[in-house]
Structure 1
Amino acid sequence: MKVNIEIDCTPEEARSFMGLPDVSKANSVYVDNMAKAMKSVSSPDQLQELAKNMAPMGQVGLKLFQNFVEGSLAAGGMSKASSKKDDD
């Protein structure tokens, strides 16, 4: 048996309904700080250094994330290539 329930509400209403906290003020502060930090970046090297400093677990966390993204891209590319082979 399959049951589908569709609820039409705003993100704020959904958050309240699920009992999640309102983090809009914290998000605003975070976005403002990120915008200020990005304005000071004038080269790719500075951007990479900024990312290293802000990443969880420093450079190790950044490297893990980079490997994750590269692995996802490679897997996506392989599935597209295999589907093309299947179509032929």
Structure 2
Amino acid sequence: MKITVDIDCTPAEARAFMGLPDFEPMQKRAMEELEKRMMDAVDRYSPEALLKMWLQPATLDTGWFQDILRQGRK
């Protein structure tokens, strides 16, 4: 014997029926905090700021590039 039962409900209704906790308010607060942090950090990660951050160490010590070229000749 085979019995098939189809239940048409939303995920929220299924969680409530099974007695599982509703994490939606906590998830909403976490996403709002994440969005706030991302918006605060947007200026630090602009293309100009990243280029400046990446090129700064290279301009401080150009000897490393000369060392690489010397090693390639050997």
The TM-score range, normalised by the shorter chain, is 0.3 to 0.5
Provide TM-score, normalisation by structure 2. 0.46
Rg bigger for which structure? 2
